[in-house]
Amino acid sequence: MTTSPVRFYQVGSFAVGNRLLDDADRTVQSDPHRSNSLDSGHRACQGCGEALGARYALDAAMRATGGQLVAVNATGCLEVFSTPYPETSWRIAWLHSLFGNSAAVATGVAAALRAKGKSDVRVVSQAGDGGTVDIGFGCLSGMFERHDDVLFICYDNEAYMNTGVQRSGATPPAARTATTEAVGPEPGNVFGQGKDLPRLAMAHGIDYVATATVADLHDLEAKVERAMTFHGARYLHILVPCPLGWGSASSDTIKVARLAKETGLFPVFEAEHGKVTAVSPIRRRTPVEEYLSIQRRYGHLFGEHGRPDLVARIQEIADQNISTYGLVDEQPAVTEPSEVSA
Amino acid sequence: MTAAELLSVAAFSEGRHAQAFPSFGSERTGAPVVSFCRIDDREIRTREPVMEPDALVIQDVTLIHQVDLFAGLSNEGYILINTSKSFDELGLGEFVRQLHRERLLTCPATELALEHLGRPLPNAALLGGFAALTGKVSLDAISSAIRDRFVGAVGERNVAAASAAYRLVQVAEEELSHAPTT
Amino acid sequence: MLRQLEGSRAVAETVARCRPEVVCAYPISPQTHIIEAVGALVKSGALAPCEFINVESEFAAMSVSIGASATGARAYTATASQGLLFMIEAVYNAAGLGLPIVMTLANRAIGAPINIWNDHSDAMAVRDSGWIQLFAETNQEAADLHIQAFRLAEELSVPVMVCMDGFILTHAVEGIDAPDQAAVDAFLPPYEPRQVLDPNHPISIGAMVGPEAFEEVRYLSYLRQLDALERIPALAAEFATAFGRESGGLLRSYRTEDAETIVVALGSVLGTVKDAADARREAGERVGVVGITSFRPFPLDAVRDALSGARRVIVIEKAFSVGFGGVLSTDVAMATHDANLSLRTVIAGLGGRAITQRSLEALLADAAKDRLSPLTFLDLDHEIVERERSRMGATRRSGPSAENILRDLGTVASKIG
Amino acid sequence: MNKPPFAITLEVGSSRANHTGSWRVERAVYVDRMPPCNDGCPAGENIQQWLYRAEPGDYEPAWRQIVEDNPFPAVMGRICYHPCETACNRAQLDEAVGINSIERFLGDLAIEHGWSLPPAGAPSGKRILVVGGGPSGLSAAYHLRRLGHGVLLVDSAPQLGGMMRYGIPAYRLPRASLDAEIDRIVALGVEIELDHTVTDIEHERTEGGFDAVFLAVGAQLARRVGIPAGDSSRILDAFSLLHRVAEDDPPLLGRRVAIYGGGDTALDAARTARRLGATDAVIVYRRNRERMPAQGDELNEAIEEGITMRWLSTVNRFEGDQLILEKMRLNDEGFPEPTGELEELDADSLVLALGQETDLSLLEGEPDITISDGVVEVSPAMMAGENGVFAGGDAVPSQRTATVAIGHGKRAARGIDAYLTGGTLTDPPRHELATFDLLNTWYYSEADRTHRPELERARRQSTFDEVVGGLTEENALFEARRCMSCGNCFECDNCFGVCPDNAVIKLGVGQRYEIDLDFCKGCGMCVKECPCGAIEMVPEQI
């Protein structure tokens, strides 16, 4: 029998795939023929958020560019677990040079492609938070300032995981790392420090800046796709939980990322030419405790010797984000990702 | 440095080996600098600064009592000073008596520059004067070097300044050659 | 065609004729005139296709070159001194990845005290980076070496550094023949990379290599440098036939046939040394000169042969290893360890100190009388040194030596030459 | 291009040689769990499955999935008390899925399009006598025919349907829908004998040479209590009231009607009385609302229609047009106790809705059949005794609803089939229940339930038009898609997508997935992110 078009669906609206959708409307990750840019056999830990984020982002970029993609990788976990001689997990053209120069190397790749007239080939540069906000920032800022045709992706796991979980410029307040131990009157990382890279990127006036988490694949893929419509410097900041460094269950990686967004601690938004153009509203507002208490890096905040005062300060940060970015929608969030004919 | 370079170009254009280089420094425009030029018929291999010049061109007369400008100058040496004053007026009367009088001249290059270019850039005039004084390069070579460096009107004005200086120096040389020797 | 040109200008024009596709620049004296001139050629369209990129640091300059080279583009940059040290991590990386980048090094001292003048400390600091290092004696050679450098680098997939003395060559105006385009094209074929980032033939470049293979990787790069020892003279010979002049090669000997004393040196000082040698020969001393063009790879055999007849070898160095002495000397010593000769190290021209023929002749005279100590610092002002030492001995807070000494000298730049 | 440099440059995908599966201490395993809706359905419908089919708009396959178990979707979609919705996990998220209304939509669609039931099975040569043409008898007949057995269905009433016809008013179950679904069953080749009351089961069985008998005689005798009443006082029972209305012979009730009882029948009677013209219809019940057996939504509908309630009251006596009620109170156990306090209620008639009993006189002389509390004891296969006599519906101990009866019919049919083929009915092992805590509801978008339209009150008080309307297709589809597919994979690709090691293999539509144990490191992310709880971790045997 024939049926009329229906402007909704809910069966797993937020799931990776949905049998009620046309192929075109489905995520890249639901496609059995996805490029698997980062292939099996890599040496990432169980439940590695970075491995997931990298495959999500690069597969999306591969679809957006019809496979005409070159990736440059900074030193870090991703590089180490993906390419230990004699095996590589990459299925794409990939180059690793140094820790702090991936943005500049990508600039060189883009320049070479331009000189050779290969305008169809696009360049992605990827780094962890250390290779982005700290040691790599000089080159990154230069790449931004020149508006080089590079999409820079930061996989933010909020510390130097490759070297054994030391504090980075992206480590959040109160978080315990090997260099911000949970001792003393101000246990864990100091409040009021750290770089807000997305904001710094926006300050460069580059075409496109966005944040995302591995918990919302639809959002992440849409942003990569959007980023690829610009020719110029672009920045995508993806939160990728690290079970090892955060002390969360390997099975909770996506849950933790989801809570980071739902608590407001990690604002998910989009900005074009220096202006915020869209935010992903919080769907189920959650107190920060729920996020913090499932991570051992915050273990010192709870229990009998816990620090509710510090938890309260973290909640303030979340509330500040919520008001700054307007993360709590007055109208109910739009929950149907797209319409579908049944 | 411009003067030394132009001089080297002029010499080069006359088929000689020439080498010009500055006293390398972090000086900014206007600060006192020394630059060197070697002219030879053989290949010039040395890279040392000119310690014993055959000729000394002083663009900024105010330096003469600050730095020992004349160190290393042989008694056979030439001196050309950018000034409208005489050696005596400069207080160099005593010093120059030990040298060949006809190899020592002053030339108001800056005035000539102001007259021909409207700017106090004495290089071209000094080169014209140098050509006349030493006869080591021709005025034509100097002029073509200037024209290579400064195209169009600017070049021509510089050439004019150089030629003017050249004539002035020739006249002065004439006078000296008729002057009674004491 | 021979023209009266500034060294930097000649190098820039020659580099342009090598058709680099990506050039990046970060300014530092005395390299500036080179990249300014290349930049102008790109902007004017005279050099195309070429991307000229103004970067934010030397570290970025080398990194951009790495990316460009790995993407199959001919990449060029230039730097000096502190700049080289700032990019040093990327310098090693380029060599490790086997990317045939060519870089001009306008040799300059390294601070502190900050000093913009010429010596070879910068080149020596990356001696072990895996780059080929060629030293130019004249501006003509500096220009010519770049053509050979691109050819050599791309044949072997090894980066090449062309070293030319800062200011002394870069800023000197002299008669130079900047080779014309046709000749360069005939000598230098288009770049065919050994590996390239190509979405249609993806590979992973820059893997992590553990103990199981690292030594082999290093040994392979050593073998490539040995290959270079073969290719460098071959290319020089090919260049000579193509361009009608001697440029490059491993080393060049001057009047060494019957020489009792041979002076070994790198770079532009060789001209003055040759003049001094001629003068000493007129005084009856049998002096010869060996100029080393290829410092890395170091031509042990060629050096051994070149020095075989000598009784004395004097290595004049514009750099030194504080706490030891000569750098080049140790390499020469390694080459001549089984020869029966006395080897003397002379440190000279540090931080732009003029190396004069007079001083060199005095030095050679002493050498002839075997009065030269194993390690000599040419024209060192012992009085100043003693004064500062006593100052240091007297009061703990004696202040920075450099400033103290300048105060003693009451010096001006022009006096330093 | 020539060979890339040794070690520093590598050929793509080479890491697949590195089988990281060896790191694993636990492995992910796909499971099927029992969805609460299926678990709660007395008719044993595979609700989740037919919803799954309905979601893309494949309505006929969805309907066929229903009639696998229940030939009465249109009827069920109206009168079933839908324990499936009570059990639905979605109720804990927002509101239960409107399963009942979707079933009605599908049932009505099937009637509209004339979809026919699956054909009768190949003749087995066996004949079964089914006594009673109510839901359980008809259900049994349907399933027996599909199994290939011959069926004679006898009923004492002039029409088939039993309580569905004579116990449930038309405003709840329009006769057209009922007839349509009954006719479909009859069309499978069921012999029918109406107006025939079986008095001696043994006799009829041997007469007709039946291989087995299914008793589905229902509970047709109204339970009565002695109420002191004057001659003029009019008392009748709810069942005969509804029965006579069903046969277009409504009794005269007067303007003020009291109904005594708290069950659904009491409500039906009261609402019927309103429709027959009663201005006051008052339900007298000895417990309170919380303890009322009737279904909540029907009570609300009744109250909307102007029915009033006298809670905690019993009928003491009926004098002329005055009903004397006694107030009750609930003791600690929640049982009502008399208070001795009396009050009056004007009433022209009193309708007794105190429940029904079963007439089992036809079983007299049957050996080894146990009757207790007025109903027949049956085995799990619905067999009463050893000799092939089966029973179901209101005649056996259980909840007395049409849905339960239909379930009995199916079960009895299978029991009979097993009996005739010399086997015994065995149930497949039941899956573990898919409880709410096993779900990850994040992946289901917010979607409030759509409710069925209701007839405006004015018409409801005067006519027997159906009160509750059906869903539009769009609403039905929306509602179907609210199903969370508890405990069973609906191929959302989450596991396929969230595996950081690409260790989930997608086998294609309908084929679900497979774990690639060469690479599965056992992180457990797929389990946590499976929306419907269809994956579990099991320890590796080391």
Q: What is the pLDDT of residues D6-23, one digit of tens each?
A: 999 999 989 999 999 999
Instruction: Clarify whether residues C305 and C339 are in a common domain.
Output: yes
Mean pLDDT of C200-215: 96
Same domain, C306 and C184: no
Q: D5: distance to nearest CA of chain C, Å?
A: 8
- The whole-number average pLDDT for the span D448-468 is 82
pLDDT of residue D469: 86
Is A85 close to C212, i.e. CB distance below 8 A?
A: yes
Predicted confidence (pLDDT) at residue A334 exceeds the cutoff of 50: no
pLDDT at site A336:
40
- Give residue A146's pLDDT: 98
Do C and D make contact, counting contact as 3+ CB pairs within 8 angstroms?
yes
Search chain A and give the residue with CA nearest C74.
A112
User: Which residue in A293, A281, A257 sits closest to A329, CA to CA?
Assistant: A281
Average pLDDT of chain B is: 89
**Nearest residue to D486 (alpha-carbon basis) of D429, D431, D539:** D431
- Are C146 and C135 contacting, i.e. CB atoms less than 8 angstroms apart? no
- Per-residue confidence at B26, pLDDT binned at 50, 70, 90? low
Query: B180 falls in which pLDDT band (50, 70, 90)?
Result: low
Q: Which residue, chain included where needed, has tokens 């004015």?
A: D458
The angle subtended at Cα B134 by Cα B132 and Cα B137, nearest 5°, is 75
**Above 50 in pLDDT, residue B19?**
yes
Distances (CA, A) of D13 to B3, B164, D19, D259: 65, 79, 13, 80
Same-domain pairing of C284 and C227:
no
Between chains, do C4 and B46 touch, taking CB under 8 Å as contact?
Answer: no
Q: D51 Cβ partners below 8 Å, 6+ apart?
A: D62, D97, D99, D102, D480, D483, D485
Q: Say if C382 falls within a structural domain.
A: no
Say if residue D225's pLDDT is above 50. yes
The region, left, alpha or beta by phi > 0 then psi within -120 to 50, assigned to residue C410 is left
Contact of D189 with chain C, judged by CB distance below 8 Å, is answered with: no
- Helices and strands in chain D, H and E counts: 18, 22
Mean pLDDT of B48-74: 88
Which residue is associated with the tokens 């630059």? B35
High-pLDDT (> 90) share of chain B, %: 60
Calculate the average pLDDT of chain A. Answer: 93
Residue D290 pLDDT: 87
Nearest chain A CA: its distance from C405 CA (Å)? 37
Burial class of residue B180, CB neighbours in 10 A (0-12, 13-18, 19+) = exposed
Cβ proximity of C119 and C108 under 8 Å: yes
Q: Which of C350, C6, C5 is nearest to C170 (CA)?
A: C6
Rounded to a whole number of angstroms, the distance between the first and last alpha carbons of chain D is 47
Nearest-CA neighbor of B63 among B27, B117, B39, B97?
B27
**CA distances (Å), origin A315, targets A195, B108, C21, C82:** 19, 80, 53, 47
State which amino acid sits at residue C183: A
Residue D151 scores a pLDDT above 80: yes
- Set of chain D residues whose Cβ sits within 8 Å of the Cβ of C195: 1, 4-5, 9
Using a threshold of 3 CB pairs under 8 A, tell whether chains B and A touch: no
Residue C176 near residue C10, CB atoms below 8 Å: yes
Residues A44/A77, Cβ–Cβ less than 8 Å: yes
For residue A86, say if its preceding peptide bond is cis, omega within 30 degrees of 0.
yes
Nearest Cβ partner of C197 from A83, A93, A146?
A93
DSSP state of C188: S
Q: Do D6 and C196 touch (CB under 8 A)?
A: no
- Asked whether D38 and D85 are in contact (CB, 8 A), the reply is no
Residue C385 within a domain:
no
Asked if residue A173 has pLDDT above 80, the reply is yes
Asked whether the beta carbons of D88 and D99 are under 8 A apart, the reply is yes
C200 lies within 8 A of chain D by CB: no
Contacts of C200 (CB under 8 A, 6+ apart): none
Smallest Cβ distance to A250: which of D17, D509, D524? D524
Tell me whether residues C207 and D5 touch, CB distance under 8 A.
Answer: no
pLDDT band per the 50, 70, 90 thresholds, residue C58: very high
Token duo for residue B176:
């000296």
Confidence label for C241 from pLDDT (cuts 50, 70 and 90): very high
Compute the nearest-CA separation of C157 from chain D (Å): 10
The answer to whether the CB atoms of B27 and C413 lie below 8 A apart is yes
Omega before residue C297 within 30° of 0, cis: yes
**pLDDT exceeds cutoff 60 at A2:** no
Distance from the Cα of D449 to chain A's closest Cα (Å) equals: 12
Does C270 lie in the same domain as C204?
A: no
φ/ψ (deg, to 5) at C231: -75, -35
Question: What is the chain C residue with the closest CA to D2?
Answer: C194
Token digits for D193?
């004998």
Residues from chain D contacting residue A11 (CB–CB below 8 Å): 55, 444, 481, 483, 485, 490, 492
C220 touches chain D (CB under 8 A): yes
Residue at which a domain ends, from C193, C210, C243? C243
pLDDT at C415 over 70: no
pLDDT (mean) for C64-89: 98
Q: Using CB atoms, which residue from A91, A253, A342 is nearest to D12?
A: A91
Half-sphere exposure of C257 (CA within 13 A, CB side): 2
Whole-angstrom distance, CA of residue A335 vs CA of residue D521: 33
Q: What percent of chain A has pLDDT over 90?
A: 89
Interface contact flag, C197 A114, Cβ < 8 Å: no
pLDDT at C203 over 90: yes
Q: Which of C246-250, C362-366, D30-34, D291-295 has the lowest mean pLDDT?
A: D291-295
Name the more confident of C267 and B28: C267
Q: How far is C-alpha A267 from the geometric centre of its chain's CA atoms?
A: 11
In the numeric block, which tokens belong to residue D419? 């009996």
Tokens of C285: 């001393």
- Is D523 in contact with A49 (Cβ distance < 8 A)? no
Amino acid at position D160, single letter: L
Of the residues D9, D10, D15, the best mutation for testing chain C's interface (the one with the most C CB atoms within 10 Å of its CB) is D9
pLDDT, position D228: 87
Averaged pLDDT for residues C42-59: 98
Q: What is the distance between the terminal CA atoms of chain A, rounded to a whole angstrom?
A: 11
Q: Shortest Cα distance from C117 to chain A (angstroms)?
A: 28
Exposure string over C206-245, b if 16+ CB within 10 A, otherwise e = bbbbeeebeeebeeebeebbeebbebbbebbeebeeebee
Of D1, D2, D9, the CB nearest to C207: D9
C195: nearest CB among D4, D7, D12: D4
Chain C: closest CA distance from residue A227 (Å): 19
Mean pLDDT of chain C: 95
Residues C264 and C181 in one domain: no
pLDDT of C371 above 50: yes
The per-residue pLDDT for B29 is 59
Nearest CA in chain A to C26: A142
Domain count, chain C: 3
Q: How far is CA C176 from CA B11, C33, C170, C188, C269, in A?
A: 14, 16, 12, 20, 18
D252 vs B161: CA distance, rounded Å: 137
In whole angstroms, give the CA distance from residue C72 to residue C99.
Answer: 9
Q: Does A5 touch chain D (CB under 8 A)?
A: no
The nearest CA of chain A is from the CA of C57 a distance in Å of 8
| Interface residue A43 vs chain D (CB under 8 A) | yes
Give the whole-number percent of chain D exceeding pLDDT 90. Answer: 73
Say how far apart CA D10 and CA A86 lie, in whole Å.
7
pLDDT at C416 over 60: no
Which pLDDT does position B179 carry in this prediction? 66
Do C182 and C298 lie in a common domain? no
**Contact residues on chain A for D28, CB-CB shorter than 8 A:** none
Please report, for residues C50, C204, D541, the alpha-carbon distance to residue C73 in angstroms, rounded to integers and kept in the order given.
9, 18, 55
Gap from D7 CA to chain C (nearest CA, Å): 7
On chain B, the residues whose CB falls within 8 A of the CB of C356 are 48-49, 51
> Which overall architecture, per CATH, does domain A23-325 show?
3-Layer(aba) Sandwich (3.40)
Query: Hey, is D327 helix, strand or coil?
Result: strand
* Chains touching C, CB cut-off 8 Å, 3+ pairs: A, B, D
Residue B30: the pLDDT is 61
- Angle (CA) C183-C188-C193 rounded to 5° is 165
Nearest to C354 among B17, B32, B49 (CB): B49
In this complex, which of C51, C72, C212 lies closest to A114 when CB atoms are compared?
C51
Whole-angstrom CA distances from C1 to A235, B40, C53, C173, C183 are 50, 20, 30, 15, 12
- Does C74 have pLDDT greater than 60? yes
Residue C168 with chain B: CB contacts under 8 Å: 21, 24, 47
- Say which CATH superfamily domain B2-177 falls into: Pyruvate-ferredoxin oxidoreductase, PFOR, domain III (3.40.920.10)
> How far, in Å, CA of C315 to CA of C312, rounded?
10
For the ranges A44-48, A240-244, D423-427, the lowest mean pLDDT is seen at: D423-427
φ and ψ at D325, to 5 degrees? -105, 150
With a cut of 80, say whether residue D465 has pLDDT above it. yes
- C197–D contact, CB cutoff 8 A: no
What average pLDDT does this structure show over A306-333?
89
Lowest mean pLDDT among A9-18, A65-74, C168-177, D190-199: A9-18
* Ordered alpha helix ranges (H), C99-170: 121-125, 139-156
Structure tokens at D386: 């050893």
**Cα D132 to Cα D153: distance, rounded to the nearest angstrom:** 7
* Position C234 in a domain: yes
Closest CA to C200 of D5, A53, A118: A118
Cα(D198)–Cα(D132) distance, rounded to whole angstroms? 9
What DSSP letter does each residue of D427-441 carry, written as one string? PPPPPPB--GGG--G
pLDDT reported for residue A339: 39
**pLDDT over 70 (residue B27):** no
pLDDT, tens digit (0-9, with 9 covering 90-100), for D85-96? 999 999 999 999
Which chain B residues touch C165 with a CB distance below 8 Å? 47
For residues C149-160, give the mean pLDDT: 98
CB C79 within 8 A of CB C28: yes
Angle, alpha carbons D307-D312-D318 (nearest 5°): 75
Cross-chain residue pair D5–C193, CB shorter than 8 Å: no
Please give the single-letter amino acid code of residue B106: T
User: From the list C30, C356, C412, which residue is nearest B48 (CB)?
Assistant: C356
Contacts of residue A183, Cβ cutoff 8 Å, sequence gap at least 6: none
Chain A residues whose CB is inside 8 A of the C21 CB are: 112, 115-116
Most confident by average pLDDT, C222-236, C384-398, D361-375: C222-236
List of chain C residues whose C-beta atoms are within 8 Å of the C-beta of residue D4: 194-195, 203, 205
Averaged pLDDT, A291-300:
98
Interchain pair C173, B21: CB under 8 A:
yes
Of chain D, the percentage scoring pLDDT greater than 70 comes to: 100
Find chain A residues with C-beta within 8 A of C59's C-beta: 100-101, 104, 138-139
Of B8, B47, B49, the CB nearest to C173: B8
Average pLDDT in chain D? 92
Q: Domains plus CATH for chain D? A: 14-32+489-539 (3.30.70.20), 38-115+439-480 (1.10.1060.10), 127-220+358-420 (3.50.50.60), 251-345 (3.50.50.60)
Q: What is the pLDDT of residue D368?
A: 81
For residue A258, which residues of chain D lie inside 8 Å, CB to CB?
442
Element (H, E) at C134: strand C132-135
Q: Where are the beta strands (DSSP E) in C193-334?
A: 203-205, 251-254, 261-265, 287-292, 294-296, 312-317
Point out the domain boundary residue: C217, C243, C269: C243
What is the per-residue pLDDT for A5? 39
- Residue C183 shares a structural domain with residue C49: yes
Top residue of C119, C141, C174, C269 to mutate, by most chain B CBs within 10 Å, is C174
Q: How far apart are CA A195 and CA A204, in angstroms?
A: 15
d(CA C111, CA C107): 13
Question: By residue range, what is the domain housing residue C397?
Answer: 390-416
Residues 243-282, chain A, touching D (beta carbon < 8 A): 243, 249-255, 258
Q: What angle do CA D64, D68, D72 make, to 5 degrees?
A: 80
pLDDT of residue A340: 36
pLDDT of residue C296 exceeding 50 = yes
Quick one: tokens of D127?
């004949």
Is residue B49 predicted with pLDDT exceeding 70? yes
Q: Closest chain B residue to C267 measured between Cα atoms?
A: B47
CB A173 within 8 A of CB A314: yes
Task: Name the band, by pLDDT with cuts 50, 70 and 90, for residue A3.
Answer: very low
